[in-house]
A and B are shown apart, each in its own frame.
Chain A
């Protein structure tokens, strides 16, 4: 590939006279090639389109997860039930990027309706890990992570409901950031679980992630949950002094490591925090109620299934999407949904529906929401004392693709694997950075900060990133 680099590098190229259309063509050409191997795109854009603007993103290519509504551009949610859906309106994220002059090169593959963590369940087939095609890329924002990891684009937009940006970032060796809930508008993002859904950003470094966040953030009258505007640019505050900042990690999560590659991951994590301590960051070990930690995944599963079931009730085949036949509208709906969703999705909806039933709500749904509050209140308490929570982003490297059914609910309470959900429970800004390699596969480190402290999060993350790179 001829033009590969960060936003700043491509910006310099364009400013020095390389046409952004030429860069676009180079990206597209390569994207068609890589897509044969990795299947990271649902749609590759044929036509160069860049609006006039004086943004730093003017002319910069990027990719967008295929669950962001793009007017006149196919948007499938990687599901058969939307396989021919061409939206009539733009998501706020897409509109802002369009207005900044950034150039969309493709809509990326995701786990069907973003409900999965492997990257293997799209209606267009599996997505593969660029470091090792026998391994998963992680999901649900699989194609986005891969398109950045391959160097096709300097940044990509994903969505994160449990860890759907931050986990694939770890598996694919890129930076993945999920700002505070409401920092970026969800208008036009296909909902999975509205109270947990976040827009997220992949890039190769913290600066690029910050630049894109600066472009996307802000109040949106179309999303009531967006935060008010603030008058700072994160990308201008990345090099603020962080010495004396206090971070914590949770003892029980680190001690839960049991597999070989997990132990290796923990080793790298410990080395990393040691380096950071030497550079003036205070990092302390904190104990946390294990019963709450073990409840993280069930709580996530219950809340997300329930909300997803309701959120996807609009997929009936009447106004959009394929439509199956039937004698009554109810039959049409039933047949359309039976045919349109894969088995895994249907199971999620059956379970979600069960959770929402009146007689089960108290025991399942409401109790899960109570535990969510318990966890969030405890973490909020810790954020009064500490600036951030630092942990390995995953229990190990990207797992191998096997014949086993993926994304099946299983009995393994891997708290090291599932703790990223905490970031969604409390709407915290949370970022995954490459930390090192195990068996030649990347592993990531995650930093989560108090809600609305996106600036602090990116500032510390930049420092961590710089120092990890320095010693490598």
Chain B
């Protein structure tokens, strides 16, 4: 990001932190569990262990900019 972009970011952070104060001031907030989903879904169930999906590597990588030997090619990964 450029210098000017950081300025805007800085402004946003200030606004954000001010807004967070609003949240902090809410009474009894700690009595509540964080909400991860809009509502509990009692009907949810787990997938049975079956193979129903596959994808050929040619189709899989047709959007990739660098492919070699049926694989996505990237600069050497340093371990």
Task: Decide if A and B touch, CB cutoff 8 A.
Answer: yes
Residue among B38, B55, B64, B77 making CB contact with A195, cutoff 8 Å: B38
Q: Is A32 an interface residue (CB 8 A)?
A: no
Q: Is A224 an interface residue (CB 8 A)?
A: yes
Residue among B16, B30, B76 making CB contact with A301, cutoff 8 Å: B16
Interface of B is mostly: loop
Stretch of A136-144, A372-380, A388-396 on the interface side: A372-380
CB pair A370 B74 closer than 8 Å: no
User: Which residues from B are CB-within-8-Å of A331?
Assistant: 75
User: Which residues from A are CB-within-8-Å of B60?
Assistant: 88, 319
Stretch of A2-10, A58-66, A151-159, A420-428 on the interface side: A420-428
CB pair A411 B76 closer than 8 Å: no
User: Which residues from B are CB-within-8-Å of A297?
Assistant: 19
Q: Is B43 an interface residue (CB 8 A)?
A: yes
CB pair A225 B12 closer than 8 Å: no
Q: Is B8 an interface residue (CB 8 A)?
A: yes
CB pair B63 A321 closer than 8 Å: yes
Stretch of A19-27, A202-210, A274-282, A346-354 on the interface side: A346-354
Chain A positions 176-196 with a Cβ under 8 Å from a chain B Cβ: 181-182, 195-196
Chain B positions 8-27 with a Cβ under 8 Å from a chain A Cβ: 8-9, 11-13, 15-16, 18-20, 22-27
CB pair B29 A291 closer than 8 Å: no
Query: Which residue of chain A lies nearest to B37 when distances are taken between CB atoms in the complex?
Result: A195
Q: Is B78 an interface residue (CB 8 A)?
A: yes
Query: Which residue of chain A lies nearest to B60 when distances are taken between CB atoms in the complex?
Result: A88
Most central of B11, B26, B36, B64 by chain A CB within 10 Å: B26
- In the bound complex, CA of A366 to CA of B15 (Å): 19
Size class of the contact patch on chain A = 35 or more
Given contacts A299-B23, A409-B15, A411-B15, contact A371 B43 (CB under 8 A): no
- In the bound complex, CA of A354 to CA of B17 (Å): 12
User: Which residues from B are CB-within-8-Å of A292?
Assistant: 26
- In the bound complex, CA of A297 to CA of B8 (Å): 19
Q: Is A125 an interface residue (CB 8 A)?
A: no
Interface size on B, residues (CB 8 A): 48
Q: Is A328 an interface residue (CB 8 A)?
A: yes
- In the bound complex, CA of A221 to CA of B34 (Å): 27
Chain A positions 331-386 with a Cβ under 8 Å from a chain B Cβ: 331-332, 338, 343, 346-347, 350-351, 354, 363-374, 376-377
CB pair A329 B74 closer than 8 Å: yes
A359 to chain B, nearest CB (A): 14
Query: Which residue of chain B lies nearest to A326 when distances are taken between CB atoms in the complex?
Result: B75
CB pair A369 B36 closer than 8 Å: yes
CB pair B47 A328 closer than 8 Å: no
CB pair B22 A291 closer than 8 Å: yes
A414 to chain B, nearest CB (A): 13
User: Which residues from B are CB-within-8-Å of A351?
Assistant: 9, 12-13, 16
CB pair B34 A328 closer than 8 Å: no
- In the bound complex, CA of A326 to CA of B37 (Å): 39
- In the bound complex, CA of A242 to CA of B27 (Å): 38
Q: Is B69 an interface residue (CB 8 A)?
A: no
Q: Is A150 an interface residue (CB 8 A)?
A: no
Q: Is A317 an interface residue (CB 8 A)?
A: yes
B contact set with A: CB distance below 8 Å: 1, 5, 8-9, 11-13, 15-16, 18-20, 22-30, 32-39, 41, 43-44, 47, 55, 59-66, 72, 74-78
Other than A291-B27, A328-B78, A351-B12, give 13 A-B pairs with Cβ distance below 8 A.
A195-B36, A291-B26, A298-B19, A298-B23, A323-B65, A343-B5, A351-B16, A372-B34, A373-B33, A376-B38, A409-B12, A413-B19, A413-B22
A contact set with B: CB distance below 8 Å: 84-86, 88, 181-182, 195-196, 221, 224-225, 227-228, 291-292, 294-295, 297-299, 301-302, 317-323, 326-329, 331-332, 338, 343, 346-347, 350-351, 354, 363-374, 376-377, 405, 408-411, 413, 424-427, 451
* Sample (10) of A-B pairs whose CB atoms are under 8 Å apart: A196-B38, A225-B44, A321-B63, A363-B20, A370-B34, A371-B32, A374-B29, A376-B39, A410-B15, A411-B18
